[in-house]
Amino acid sequence: MFGFAFRNLLSRPARSALALAGLTVAIAGMVGLFAVKGGLESAAEDAFGKVTGLTAIQPGAPVPLLSRLPADWEAKIDAVEGVETTVTDVWNRANVIEGKTVVSPPRFLLGTSILERARLRNGVYREALKQGRFLDETDLGTTNVYAAVSILEEHEKQVGDSLTIDGVECKVVGAYEVGSLFLDAAILMDLPTMRQITRFDPNTVSNYYIEGDPSVSQEVLKERILEVLRDETTTDWKPTNMALLGQSEPPFAALFNALDAAARGGEPPAPAPDTRAKPAPAAAPLGDDGKPRDPVELRTMEEWLDQFATFTADLDLFLQILGATGVLIAVFGVVNTMLMSVSERIIEFGILKANGWSKGDVLRLICSESLILGIVGGLLGAAIGWAATGVLNALFPDRLNLYAGPGLLGFAVAFSTCVGTLGGLYPALWAMRMQPMDAIRRG
């Protein structure tokens, strides 16, 4: 039956090729779309899999860059039983590097407590050293930096060269390469120096990275740290929180006042005194159990991955909608091809049924033809999608990390097979219901 079906497809090469091309493009597009999500998940697992300690972050903050915590917690956390090393980190975007505005991919300045970071047993950045050396005590109070290899290559720099970041000339003493799209985007430097360069609030930090005694479980360590910080209060992170920008009045208000005064030929008016009642200090937020909420989130590797999955849920839905749209178009293409094929072969089916073919035989023949289209389209689409992800990753290593794994490729072939079979089902049902003489007469 399959041989007969295959010969039928070859007898109409143009129509079969068009149906096959439509299905192949749809499956390749589906593989490419879901390779985006697969790449993000792979990069996240690779990055967070190297984070063996606890990260203390502002409640609700998605990433350390947006987190703000009091700067005086380091000593309290360091004194907790079971804590070996506490590293204070401050994150900020690098807006201009070597006179070029940084848009994509983003680059980050990481101000870190150098001596504490050097004491980590599992130092991700230190262990990824490729050239030069890691930051040490000689770099305290200087603008020396330890940068990702990808950043240096982008600006044609190497160890020993100067790298101008946001107007400040820095000396590159070392370069690292973790092999993760998320981690290979930072420039490390001395924490106090970084605060001065970026004018970061000296009373706050972005996060604390905590490495504990291996004999103490992370859950136990979390409970001990939270108990020490139980009386501390922090605000939950909110996307609209203007405190991160240090603004106490609407954005651009001073600029608009100055422009208005210039147009009138006078001095800008003095800001009106704030006569509003000052809000009372906010009480500590309560959790679902009615008890005060923890002032800090302590995230493990697994919790970082869960948080990442939450933020990519909408992306997953968007990709599913796009993929379903493309596949639906391919289904219509297969249905149209098979329906036209059946219409052209009305006499053939009438003769076959007159010679003893049953309705089931006709159904199997047409479904076999569409099944072949589905299998071949799935194999070609999966192969093209997989090859395209490899080419794009090679062309844009700093921007893309697409991943089409065996699971995705296998699903694409299986899905294409089902689509092809279903696409031929309606034409097959239409053909099998026709009586032999009616088919011959109609043909």
**Quick one: CA torsion of 16, 21, 22, 24, rounded to 10 degrees?**
120
DSSP state string for 337-389: HHHHHHHHTHHHHHHHHHTT--HHHHHHHHHHHHHHHHHHHHHHHHHHHHHHH
Q: What is the radius of gyration, based on Cα positions, of the chain?
A: 32
Report the DSSP pairing between strands 186-190 and 108-112.
Answer: parallel
Residue 249 has pLDDT above 70, yes or no: no
Query: Residue 252: pLDDT band by 50, 70, 90 thresholds?
Result: very low
Please tell me the distance from the alpha carbon of residue 406 to that of residue 418, in angstroms, as a whole number: 18
- Give the mean pLDDT of 181-196: 91
Please tell me the distance from the alpha carbon of residue 413 to that of residue 391, in angstroms, as a whole number: 21
pLDDT at 374: 85
CB distance 222 to 298 below 8 Å: yes
Please tell me the distance from the alpha carbon of residue 190 to that of residue 202, in angstroms, as a whole number: 14
Query: Residue 357: pLDDT band by 50, 70, 90 thresholds?
Result: confident
Q: How many CB atoms lie within 10 A of CB 95?
A: 15
Q: Please give the mean pLDDT across all residues of the chain.
A: 80
> Is this structure's pTM higher than 0.75?
no
* Tens-digit pLDDT profile for residues 4-21: 667 767 767 777 787 788
* Tens-digit pLDDT profile for residues 62-105: 889 999 999 999 999 999 999 999 999 999 999 999 999 998 88
Q: If residue 223 lies in a helix (H) or strand (E), which one and from where to where?
A: helix 218-228
CB distance 108 to 174 below 8 Å: no
Please tell me the distance from the alpha carbon of residue 58 to that of residue 294, in angstroms, as a whole number: 10
* Tens-digit pLDDT profile for residues 136-172: 999 999 999 999 999 999 999 999 999 999 999 999 9
Query: Residue 279: pLDDT band by 50, 70, 90 thresholds?
Result: very low
Kindly state the tokens that stand for 163.
């790298």
Q: How many CB atoms lie within 10 A of CB 204?
A: 17
CA distances to 65, 205, 442 from 229, rounded to whole Å, are 22, 16, 85
Query: Residue 442: pLDDT band by 50, 70, 90 thresholds?
Result: low
- Please state the φ and ψ torsions of residue 261, each to the nearest 5 degrees: -65, -40
CB distance 206 to 68 below 8 Å: yes
CA distances to 251, 279, 282, 343 from 276, rounded to whole Å, are 19, 9, 17, 79
pLDDT at 241: 47
Q: Which residue has the tokens 């300045």?
A: 109
| For the chain, percent of residues with pLDDT exceeding 90 | 38
Work out whether the CA dihedral 125, 127, 132, 136 comes out positive or negative.
Answer: positive
Query: Residue 179: pLDDT band by 50, 70, 90 thresholds?
Result: confident
What's the DSSP call for residue 286? B
Name residue 188's beta-bridge partners.
110, 146
Task: Kindly report which listed range (59-73, 154-168, 180-194, 366-380) carries the lowest average pLDDT score.
Answer: 366-380
Tell me the HSE value of 414 on the side-chain side, using a 13 A CA sphere.
6
Residue 207 has pLDDT above 80, yes or no: yes
Please tell me the distance from the alpha carbon of residue 212 to that of residue 41, in angstroms, as a whole number: 27
CA 322 to chain centroid: 17
Name residue 286's beta-bridge partners.
292
Query: Residue 243: pLDDT band by 50, 70, 90 thresholds?
Result: very low
Query: Residue 431: pLDDT band by 50, 70, 90 thresholds?
Result: low
